[in-house]
């Protein structure tokens, strides 16, 4: 089954291009024909000339980033984008969610939907859509939300997994918290699940684990693409009966998105290190899984700086809201993906501990395990954990609080009102996200 990726705005197009690069490199480097075939069929289609074309639609309100992404893909010599799979205009959305959602989106709906329809028709079987976007700006967040709504309307039975890049906490755009609130509140009603990467965390991975001195957005995007590839590349699942899974999005939803009130997914991967260090490093499954489990329960999100003092509370004790550092991170569901050498000997019992999970879901239902004996992206052994837990509770609460403080003084509200977003729309969005915060806070 095929996955159609929808790249939206500057961030979405850059992350998408890096993701296809990772997937294509991984599939081509592997000498296992079945794995490579499933990977390529999932994300690419083969042209009559034998070239690989990405199953993707590129959308931006300015042409520069799309042109760069298409050129970079073509120069790789391994894959490219379709010549007619993109849409751009000459004027951006000015970092205004309302401009993207209320103006650019509706104005170009027919053209965008036609691109989607053509891409879907290239699929023998459609597994679903992955819109990739930022929540901070105008096109990625505003147009991205509108396009997600179009996908839900046009393909109501298909899965939609939104990938969001969370802005730096110190701020890239003055109104980024407004844009984030409006994006998340709307996507929560439209998407089946929302997978989030935080720029602050990825930046630390680049600095502390990859030892990059001058970190660029390309470095950030490559880390995100590596982690996404670890989730989306072929695996053997309990439902796949010994063959590589053909429905990655559907099985991911089944594993993690079991309740409509809980849709926020975080991801972490271990190990991550500078490529020059990989040949000189050895990895063991007990050590990798011990570190990954502690990253989960302490909400550390990266291997460096794990808080080893955090442990599951006694069964009789209450659990904290997980809004402060050092508190226990309660999970609703986890998906553990293991790749590489001796993968079938890995002991995963630490992730089956009932103390990790909410009391109303048995651990055997809350934990899903996918495996592949094929090493991923040059790592002999690697583990990726996708978690529906309280991991995003603190950044979500911070974002809503900052946006509310601005809204209370009516700062910049007129910039949204003039494009059709009213104060009542803001209040509805705040109410929706406060409910999400409340639901995750009460996991126990």
Domains 2-266 and 268-391 in one fold? no
Which phi and psi (to 5°) does residue 110 adopt? -60, -45
Between 1.10.260.40, 3.40.50.2000, 3.30.1330.20, 3.40.1550.10, what CATH number should domain 268-391 receive?
3.30.1330.20
Q: Give the SS3 label for residue 48.
A: coil
Alpha helices in 122-165 (DSSP H): 144-154
**What CA–CA distance (Å, rounded) separates 396 from 403?**
11
Alpha helices in 122-232 (DSSP H): 144-154, 176-190, 199-204, 217-232
Tokens of 170: 């110190």
Looking at the whole model, is its pTM more than 0.75? yes
Q: CB-side exposure of 194: number of CA atoms within 13 Å?
A: 29
| All structural domains of the chain with their residue ranges | 2-266, 268-391, 394-442
Tokens of 138: 């105008």
Radius of gyration, alpha carbons of the chain = 21
Q: What is the pLDDT along the chain (444 residues), one digit of tens a residue?
A: 899 999 999 999 999 999 999 999 887 765 567 888 888 889 999 888 888 999 999 999 889 999 999 999 999 989 999 999 999 988 777 789 999 999 999 999 999 999 999 999 999 899 999 999 999 887 889 999 999 999 999 999 999 999 999 999 887 689 999 999 999 999 999 999 999 999 999 999 999 999 999 999 999 999 999 999 999 999 988 777 778 877 889 999 999 998 999 999 999 999 999 988 888 888 999 999 999 999 999 999 888 888 888 888 765 455 545 555 558 999 999 999 999 999 999 999 999 999 999 988 888 899 999 999 999 988 999 999 999 999 999 999 999 999 999 999 999 999 999 999 999 999 999 999 999 999 999 987
What are the angstrom distances between the C-alpha of 335 and each of 250, 254, 411? Answer: 13, 10, 41
- The topology under which CATH files domain 2-266 is Rossmann fold (3.40.50)
Query: CB of 179 within 8 A of CB of 141?
Result: yes
Q: CB-side exposure of 73: number of CA atoms within 13 Å?
A: 31
Q: Give the SS3 label for residue 50.
A: coil
């Amino acid at each position: 089954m095929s996955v159609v990726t929808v790249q939206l705005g500057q961030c979405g197009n850059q992350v998408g291009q890096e993701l296809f690069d990772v997937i294509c490199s991984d599939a081509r480097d592997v000498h296992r024909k079945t794995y490579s075939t499933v990977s390529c069929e999932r994300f690419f289609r083969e042209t009559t000339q034998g070239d690989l074309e990405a199953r993707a639609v590129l959308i931006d309100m300015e042409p520069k980033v799309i042109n760069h992404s298409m050129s970079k893909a073509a120069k790789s010599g391994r894959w490219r984008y379709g010549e007619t799979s993109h849409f751009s205009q000459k004027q951006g959305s000015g970092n205004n969610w309302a401009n993207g959602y209320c103006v650019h989106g509706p104005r170009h709906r027919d053209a965008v939907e036609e691109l989607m329809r053509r891409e879907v028709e290239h699929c023998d079987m459609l597994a679903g859509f992955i819109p990739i976007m930022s929540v901070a700006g105008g096109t990625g967040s505003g147009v991205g939300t509108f396009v997600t709504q179009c996908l839900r309307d046009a393909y109501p039975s298909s899965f939609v997994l939104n990938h969001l890049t969370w802005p730096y906490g110190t701020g890239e755009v003055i109104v980024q918290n407004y844009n984030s609130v409006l994006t998340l509140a709307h996507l929560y009603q439209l998407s089946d699940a929302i997978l989030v990467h935080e720029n602050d965390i990825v930046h630390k991975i680049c600095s502390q684990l990859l030892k990059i001195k001058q970190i660029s957005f390309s470095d950030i995007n490559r880390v995100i693409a590596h982690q996404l590839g670890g989730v989306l590349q072929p695996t053997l699942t309990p439902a796949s009966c010994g063959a590589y899974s053909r429905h990655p999005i559907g099985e991911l939803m089944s594993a993690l998105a079991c309740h409509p009130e809980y849709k926020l997914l975080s991801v972490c991967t271990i190990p991550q290190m500078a490529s020059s260090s990989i040949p000189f490093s050895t990895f063991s499954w007990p050590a990798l899984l011990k570190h990954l489990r502690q990253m989960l329960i302490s909400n550390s999100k990266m291997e460096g700086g794990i808080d080893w003092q955090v442990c599951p509370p006694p069964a009789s004790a209450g659990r904290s809201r997980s809004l402060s550092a050092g508190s226990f991170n309660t999970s609703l569901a986890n998906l553990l993906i293991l790749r590489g050498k001796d993968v079938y000997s890995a002991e995963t019992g630490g992730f089956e501990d009932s103390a990790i999970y909410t009391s109303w879901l048995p651990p055997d239902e809350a934990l899903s395990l996918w495996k592949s004996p094929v090493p991923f992206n040059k790592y002999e052994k690697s583990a990726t954990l996708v978690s529906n837990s309280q991991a995003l509770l603190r950044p979500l609460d911070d974002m809503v609080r900052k946006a509310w403080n601005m809204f209370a003084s009516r700062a910049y509200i007129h910039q949204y009102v003039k494009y059709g977003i009213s104060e009542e729309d803001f209040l509805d969005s705040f109410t929706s996200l406060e409910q999400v915060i409340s639901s995750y806070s009460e996991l126990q």
